């Protein structure tokens, strides 16, 4: 469990890493440690680019957990039963917890939470583009659990072996909770599929809308992926985007059969020679449009996030005042 530190600049929070006498030698030693599968810890020397890559990746991951609470949070008050309401409430709360672990893991790299949040709130930092799609029906909530959390698990399980210790350890706990999220989504859809024709149609409609954006969650094809090569060298990324996407498609096709829903891709077929499913072409124009701020809900999500942060200012002030009071008491 990481500290959920308030963002108070503190001189001894910065990693106390002396510059190495011989940078080339230190870099070679670092690469060798990564290649040997060793964990890198916050106070170890690391190349600037490794630090930057991790700050970018962990903070984007943290932002995604937090912004991801918005589309589902909309449905907490409208869940169809007390049971579903409690499950959804627990799930959304988990996502908030994931965001906090991850901000804390990013802070160990010497960046402040304030800087990370400012980058998000001013649109400089990215979060997963999947959360810029709307959730007009209750079936969307089941599909988010089944497909969006399902894709997140595929992406995140390899991160439990990521070379940066604090990130890897945060991911172990997060992945356990993501499995529960995926199961609850599937269970909710299964219940609806055993219901009326209207319920089945609602599930199918939601699957049709989410399928392609979910496949985009794995990121651009390996040949077009900017950061993959160095991330792989340093043990940050262990399995490529295309391999993960393929694993997800293969697993999901079987689950869709159990549910009794179709997947909206006429090109989706089993390829016995490859031992995998073939699938149709992804519309990357849509992906880049959404990443660059022009998805159906980008503005709405960012505005809701900024408003929540502003509305919570008094909580941060009160917590700081309380901790100052406690420190003064301890000093006295």
Q: Which residue, 50 or 248, is less far from Fe ion as judged by CB?
A: 248
Q: Where are the beta strands (DSSP E) in 110-191?
A: none
Contacts of 173 (CB under 8 A, 6+ apart): 101
Round to whole Å and give the CA distance between 64 and 57.
11
Candidate segments 45-53, 177-185, 268-276, 277-285, binder of Fe ion by CB under 5 A: 177-185
Q: Are 20 and 26 a contacting pair, CB within 8 Å?
A: yes
* Residue 181 binds Fe ion, judged by CB under 5 A: yes
Binding to Fe ion, residues 60-79 (CB under 5 A): 65
Exactly one of 72, 107, 140, 178 binds Fe ion (CB under 5 A); that residue is 178
Q: Which residue, 34 or 215, is less far from Fe ion as judged by CB?
A: 215
Q: Are 91 and 185 a contacting pair, CB within 8 Å?
A: no
* Residue 265 binds Fe ion, judged by CB under 5 A: no
Q: Which residue, 149 or 265, is less far from Fe ion as judged by CB?
A: 149
Exactly one of 61, 63, 84, 98 binds Fe ion (CB under 5 A); that residue is 98
Closest contact distance (angstroms) between CB of 98 and Fe ion is 4
DSSP letter string, 242-278: HHHHHHHHHHHHHHHHHHT---S-TT-EEETTTTEEE
* Residue 149 binds Fe ion, judged by CB under 5 A: yes
Q: Which residue, 65 or 107, is less far from Fe ion as judged by CB?
A: 65
H or E segment to which residue 162 belongs: none
- For the beta carbon of residue 2, count every other beta carbon within 10 angstroms: 16
Residues in the site for Fe ion, rule: CB under 5 A? 65, 95, 98, 149, 178, 181
């Amino acid at each position: 469990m990481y500290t959920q530190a308030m963002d108070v600049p503190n001189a001894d929070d910065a990693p106390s890493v002396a510059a190495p006498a011989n940078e080339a030698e230190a870099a070679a030693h670092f690469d060798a440690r990564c290649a040997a599968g060793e964990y890198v810890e916050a106070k170890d020397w690391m190349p600037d680019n490794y630090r930057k890559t991790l700050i970018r990746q962990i903070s984007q991951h943290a932002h995604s957990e937090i912004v991801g609470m918005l589309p589902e949070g909309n449905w907490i008050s409208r869940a169809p039963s007390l049971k579903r309401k409690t499950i959804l409430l627990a799930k959304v709360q988990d996502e908030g917890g994931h965001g906090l672990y991850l901000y804390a893991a990013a802070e160990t790299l010497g960046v402040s939470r304030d800087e990370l949040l400012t980058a998000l709130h001013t649109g400089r930092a990215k979060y997963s583009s999947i959360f810029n799609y709307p959730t007009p029906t209750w079936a969307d909530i089941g599909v988010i659990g089944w497909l969006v959390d399902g894709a997140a698990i595929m992406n995140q399980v390899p991160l439990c072996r990521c070379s940066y210790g604090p990130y890897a350890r945060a991911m172990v706990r997060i992945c356990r909770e993501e499995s529960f999220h995926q199961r609850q989504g599937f269970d909710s859809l299964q219940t609806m599929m055993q219901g009326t024709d209207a319920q089945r149609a609602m599930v199918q409609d939601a699957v049709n809308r989410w399928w392609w954006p979910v496949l985009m969650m794995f990121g651009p094809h390996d040949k077009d992926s900017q950061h993959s090569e160095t991330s792989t060298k340093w043990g940050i990324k262990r399995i490529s985007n295309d391999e993960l996407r393929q694993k997800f498609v293969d697993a999901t096709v079987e689950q869709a059969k159990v549910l009794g829903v179709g997947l909206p891709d006429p090109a989706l077929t089993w390829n016995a020679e490859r031992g995998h499913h073939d699938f149709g072409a992804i519309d990357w124009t849509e992906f880049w449009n959404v990443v660059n701020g022009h998805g159906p809900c980008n503005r709405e999500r960012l505005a809701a996030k900024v408003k929540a942060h502003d509305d919570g200012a008094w909580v941060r002030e009160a917590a700081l005042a309380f901790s100052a009071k406690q420190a003064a008491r301890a000093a006295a």
